[in-house]
Amino acid sequence: MISSVVEPKAFQIGKQYQAERRVQLTDASDTELTSSVMGNSGLYEQTIRLANGQLEAKCSCTLPEQPMCRHGVAALLEYHRWSNARIVPKARPTVPRPEAVRVAQKAAPSNDVKLGELTQFTEWMQRVVQAIQSGQPVPEQPNIEPGLVSTWTHIIQQLDERRRESEVTQIQLDTDIRNREAVVGRLTQDLEASVKEAKSLEVLCRDLQREVEQQKAVFTKTADLSHHIEQVEGEVKAIAALVTEKGRRLEGLSDTCREVATMLKALGKA
């Protein structure tokens, strides 16, 4: 949690100071601690307290590191080690300052977080992260008195329950999506088969259209031939009528010739 809010360089150097035992806790309680850290340029004093859920850190150094310098990081890491080891630091007698007296006279806010509870919460969060990474339920919350930290753990447990419900919902949605994808696949296959069939029908329609055009051409030729036959038939009828008329004339001429021959025979006899 510290490394996520401070500058990376400040955290690395502060962790090195704590590992090299440069930190001396002079006083510590559930909401405040004072310490001194031997830096590379001298000894610096820190005051770190929790108020209304906010961490306030002051150091006598002049480094611009925000929101906490490397000495404050070293002090918090040492407090974390001390809290786990349950070692009571020896308090250094100090003369109370007027500001400290006024702060002590004020009632502690109900939302203040104890450093011990914050340590337990940090350890519990590590187990929570491991459980989430392995897909296991969140472990039971630590034995913490009702307060802000207890509220945090309760909210995290509720979020984990919602996360697991979301995972179940996600699994159901994935199943529905796979089923819908299968339906879409079948419909796609049917559509492709229909497209192939439509293409075949289109080719058949083009063939039928060509055949119809051919039949139209044949019908046109047949109509022209029929018209020509009608004209020939008319001409034949006209010729037949003419031949008939000439036949009648020839018959009349033949009768006349017979009559002339008969008259010539009669004259010859006379």
| Cβ–Cβ under 8 Å, residues 128 and 139 | yes
Q: What is the pLDDT of residue 16?
A: 92
* pTM, rounded to two decimals: 0.38
Question: How far is Cα 147 from Cα 51, in angstroms, rounded to an integer?
Answer: 13
Q: What is the pLDDT of residue 58?
A: 92
Q: How far apart are the first and last CA of the chain?
A: 171
Question: Cα-atom radius of gyration of the chain, to the nearest Å?
Answer: 59
| Cβ–Cβ under 8 Å, residues 96 and 43 | no
238 pLDDT higher than 50: yes
Q: What is the pLDDT of residue 147?
A: 63
Q: What is the pLDDT of residue 26?
A: 87
| Cβ–Cβ under 8 Å, residues 118 and 150 | no
Helix H, strand E, coil C: the string for 76-99 is HHHHHHHHHHCCCCCCCCCCCCHH
Higher pLDDT, 131 or 70: 70
110 pLDDT higher than 50: no
Q: How many residues does the chain have?
A: 270
pLDDT digits (tens, 9 = 90+) for 134-182: 777 777 777 766 665 667 677 777 787 777 778 778 888 888 898 899 9
pLDDT digits (tens, 9 = 90+) for 2-46: 888 889 999 999 999 999 999 998 888 878 889 999 988 889 999
Helix H, strand E, coil C: the string for the chain is CHHHHCCHHHHHHHHHHHHCCCEEEEEECCCEEEEEEECCCCEEEEEEEEECCEEEEEECCCCCCCCCCHHHHHHHHHHHHHHHHCCCCCCCCCCCCHHHHHHHHCCCCCCCCCHHHHHHHHHHHHHHHHHHHCCCCCCCCCCCCCCHHHHHHHHHHHHHHHHHHHHHHHHHHHHHHHHHHHHHHHHHHHHHHHHHHHHHHHHHHHHHHHHHHHHHHHHHHHHHHHHHHHHHHHHHHHHHHHHHHHHHHHHHHHHHHHHHHHHHHHHHHC
Judged by average pLDDT, the poorest of 71-80, 88-97, 184-193 is 88-97
The mean per-residue pLDDT over the stretch 114-139 comes to 75
220 pLDDT higher than 80: yes
